[in-house]
Amino acid sequence: MQLLRERILNNGKHLGRGIIKVDSFINHQLDSRLMQAIGEEFAHRFGSLQPTKILTAESSGIAPALATGIVLGIPVVFARKHQPLTMAANPYRQVAASHTHARQVELIVSPEFLGPEDRVLIIDDFLATAQTILALVKLIEQSGAALVGIGAVIEKSFEGGRAALQVLKVPVHSLAIIDGFEEDKIILR
């Protein structure tokens, strides 16, 4: 996606230790036209798999997941990091290491919104080590639903996440792939 590549190169910042700051258009402030284009691209790549739900993690995955859900006309479920009082009893739970937060985070999904009848597409903002995505996969497995594909807005190829997902035998698509950094310069594939 050319628009995404341009935004990464023009507005993304390498903060060191493999962390890229894209909060001016994806993670804090959202570029609505970019999100629409991301949703359309993911819908084009995954629509033929006939997902019935999209699953993502709170909070940065919500915007691209919602944009995709709007185009596909399907619900979006996001794994919460804290259980609200309104959530059904006995939710599905998994723990994932968060590189950005430098700690473990719990991901929680209500059984009301994910079940054996669902064909689930995971959409997230980043694919790096795949720890968050693998925790989402385990939530899908707990629910009895079927995983049909995985989409990431940005992939950091040097962190090994794609290799960790190969055992799942589902399509994995990233819209932009970062292969590394030369000082402050971001190197896109």
**151 contacts 29 by C-beta, under 8 angstroms:** no
* Arithmetic mean of pLDDT over the chain: 94
| pLDDT tens-digit map of 8-37 | 999 999 998 888 999 999 989 999 999 999
SS3 176: strand
Task: Determine whether 104 is exposed, middle or buried from the number of CB atoms within 10 Å of its CB (0-12, 13-18, 19+).
Answer: exposed
**41 contacts 63 by C-beta, under 8 angstroms:** no
The residue ranges of every structural domain in the chain are 2-188
Q: How are the residues of the chain apportioned to helix, strand and coil, as percentages rounded to the nearest 5? A: 35, 35, 30
SS3 168: helix
- Of 183 and 21, the structure prediction assigns the larger pLDDT to 21
Which residues are registered as beta bridge partners of 21?
Answer: 13
Q: Give pTM, 2 decimals.
A: 0.95
**171 contacts 142 by C-beta, under 8 angstroms:** no
Helical axes 32-46 vs 62-72, angle rounded to 10°: 60
Length of the chain: 189
Q: What is the pLDDT, as a whole number, of residue 100?
A: 64
| Amino acid symbol at 122 | I
CATH numeric code, 2-188: 3.40.50.2020
d(CA 103, CA 80): 16
Average pLDDT score over residue span 110-114: 95
